[in-house]
């Protein structure tokens, strides 16, 4: 096997220092006809500058409405190995840690039933098993689920939640991102596997405002760790940074967005009341500064890519929530939001778009969230606001 198709354009991408995806496909092609024909079809795409995939009927595993992305070649006669090339989204463990034993097991199943190609990971955070035939979907699912693996979300469902490495290996994490993500994922198995929403819903959990998981940009609900109270300062370590050549005035004090720090050459002062917890000083002086004592999360809602009405980033709906098991306050909030979305959301309308369409004040009122200045950058500029019955004197 291996050289069924000539692939001069792709071969060029085996040169150069960065690891090559073409080499990966060729490795798989040594033992997989899927991968062989994928090479052939991809070469054709490179030559013609056009994709050769099409969407087909809905495929999946019994009892689930999600977890499989159906894919068919539009040139199946030429490349029968990829006539069907469906992808399984396998729910990754929180934090993307693996034992080699577990990874090898997944590989074994995938070598037996699929292309031998994966994405570690897809953009949402699933283990992507890239390419198999319809009749292999059930066997792959049986083999994987009997070993403790389940499928992730796709379609109008809860998508596989994901998180930053959090407390497993980051000193800045204000919340246990991995535990929270694991809990959310298990809490919403039905909502994940049986799409019943107007559209997709993503959770992403970051331990601090640095947001290594990009939750503010790509989760319908972004859970971002934060704190209350004073940043803990170790003045000796601050001096050590200065002694090691850091220009504390220029690199820390002057870059603080709120202008709440000062440095007289021996003592660093922070006016914590003015700090907005941006993480700059803490990240640049990890040994000297640590987040304040009372930990929790800010909950933000609504981000999405530009389609259809423009990109949104999530915005604050709960300034501070303790995120401790069993997360009752959190789940209660999610349920209320979903109920509202379910009631008013149009087909393919993300929660952020719905709030834009019906208004943020209406959302707050009907979902039962008290307004707070942290929710806005500034109050409205116009005088066109409404009152409800109870505000009017009769």
How buried is residue 273: exposed, middle or buried, by Cβ count under 10 Å (0-12/13-18/19+)?
exposed
The size of the interface with ligand HEM (CB under 6 A), counted in residues, is: 21
141 binds, among another protein, ligand HEM, ligand SF4, none (CB under 5 to 8 A by kind): another protein
Pick the closer one to ligand SF4 by CB: 243 or 307: 307
The residue number with the shortest CB distance to ligand HEM is: 122
Tell me whether residue 119 or residue 249 sits nearer to ligand HEM (CB atom). 119
Give 122 or 296: the residue with its C-beta nearer to ligand HEM.
Answer: 122
Instruction: Tell me how crowded residue 359 is: count the other CB atoms within 10 A of its CB.
Output: 13
Least Å from the CB of residue 328 to ligand HEM: 29
- Rounded least distance, CB 368 to another protein, Å: 27
Residue 210 CB contacts under 8 Å (≥ 6 apart), including other chains: 172, 279, 283
SS3 134: helix
Given 383, 389, 391, 392, the residue binding ligand HEM (CB under 6 A): 383
Residue (of 115, 52, 48) closest to 78 by Cα position: 52
Q: Which does 95 bind (CB under 5 to 8 A by kind): ligand SF4, another protein, ligand HEM, none?
A: another protein
Contact 44, 73 (CB under 8 A): no
Tokens standing for 344?
């008013």
- According to DSSP, the β-strands at 261-263 and 268-270 are antiparallel
Choose among ligand HEM, another protein, ligand SF4, none what residue 270 binds, the Cβ cut-off being 5 to 8 Å by kind: ligand SF4
**What distance in Å separates the CA atoms of residue 39 and residue 85, rounded to the nearest whole number?**
13
Instruction: Kindly state the tokens that stand for 170.
Output: 């980051």
Residue 280's SS3 state is helix
192-211: which residues touch ligand HEM (CB under 6 A)? Answer: 210-211
330 binds, among ligand SF4, ligand HEM, another protein, none (CB under 5 to 8 A by kind): none
Helix axes 21-29, 33-48, angle to 10 degrees: 140
Q: Given the rule CB under 6 A, which of 3-11, 164-172, 318-326, 336-344 is the region that contacts ligand SF4? A: 164-172
181 closest CA partner among 96, 103, 88:
96
10 CB-near residues (< 8 Å, 6+ apart)? 22, 25, 39, 42, 43, 46
Q: Closest residue to ligand SF4, Cβ-based?
A: 207
List the x/- string, 15-54, binding to ligand HEM by CB under 6 A: ----------------------------------------
Which of another protein, ligand HEM, ligand SF4, none binds 261 (CB below 5-8 Å, type-dependent)? ligand SF4
Residue 331 binds: one of ligand SF4, another protein, ligand HEM, none (C-beta under 5 to 8 A by kind):
none
CA distance 116 to 252: 49
Q: How far is the CB of 61 from ligand HEM (least distance, A)?
A: 17
- What string marks each residue from 195 to 214 as x (binds ligand SF4 by CB under 6 A) or -? -----------xxx-xxx--
Q: What is the pattern of x (binds ligand SF4, CB under 6 A) and - over residues 119-158?
A: ----------------------------------------
The residues near 213 (Cβ < 8 Å, ≥ 6 apart) are: 162, 163, 164, 177, 204, 205, 206
* Two structure tokens written together for 286: 């990890």
Contact set with ligand HEM (CB under 6 A): 69, 71, 87, 119, 122-124, 165, 169-170, 210-212, 214, 218, 283, 304-305, 307, 382-383
């Amino acid at each position: 096997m291996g050289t069924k198709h000539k692939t001069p354009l792709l071969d060029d991408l085996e040169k150069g220092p960065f690891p090559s995806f073409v080499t990966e496909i060729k490795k798989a092609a040594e033992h997989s006809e899927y991968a062989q024909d994928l090479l052939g079809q991809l070469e054709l795409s490179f030559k013609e500058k056009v994709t050769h995939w099409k969407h087909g009927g809905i495929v999946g595993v019994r009892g689930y409405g999600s977890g499989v992305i159906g894919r068919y070649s539009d040139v199946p006669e030429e490349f029968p190995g990829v006539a069907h090339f469906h992808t399984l989204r396998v729910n990754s463990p929180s934090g993307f840690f693996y034992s080699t034993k577990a990874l090898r097991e997944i590989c074994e199943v995938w070598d037996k039933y699929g292309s031998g190609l994966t994405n570690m990971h897809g953009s949402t955070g699933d283990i992507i098993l890239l390419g198999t035939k319809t009749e292999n979907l059930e066997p792959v699912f049986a083999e994987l689920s009997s070993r403790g693996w389940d499928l992730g979300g796709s379609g109008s469902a809860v998508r596989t939640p994901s998180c930053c490495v959090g407390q497993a290996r980051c000193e800045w994490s204000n919340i246990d991102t991995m535990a929270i993500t694991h809990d959310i994922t298990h809490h919403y198995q039905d909502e994940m596997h049986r799409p019943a929403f107007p559209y997709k819903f993503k959770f992403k959990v970051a331990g601090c405002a640095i947001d290594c998981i990009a939750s503010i940009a790509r989760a319908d609900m972004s859970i971002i760790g934060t704190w209350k109270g004073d940043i803990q300062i170790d003045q000796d370590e601050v001096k050590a940074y200065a002694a090691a050549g850091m220009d504390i005035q220029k690199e820390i004090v002057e870059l603080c967005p709120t202008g709440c720090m000062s440095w007289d050459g021996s003592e660093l002062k922070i006016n914590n009341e003015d700090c907005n917890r941006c993480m700059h000083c803490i990240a640049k002086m990890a040994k000297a500064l640590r987040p304040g004592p009372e930990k929790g999360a800010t909950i933000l809602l609504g981000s999405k890519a530009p389609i259809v009405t423009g990109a949104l980033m999530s915005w604050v709906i709960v300034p501070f929530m303790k995120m401790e098991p069993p997360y009752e306050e959190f789940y209660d909030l999610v349920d209320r939001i979903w109920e509202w979305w379910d009631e008013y959301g149009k087909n393919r309308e993300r929660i952020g778009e719905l709030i834009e369409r019906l208004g943020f004040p209406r959302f707050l009122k009907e979902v039962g969230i008290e307004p707070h200045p942290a929710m806005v950058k500034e109050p409205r500029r116009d005088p066109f606001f409404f009152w409800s019955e109870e505000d009017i004197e009769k």
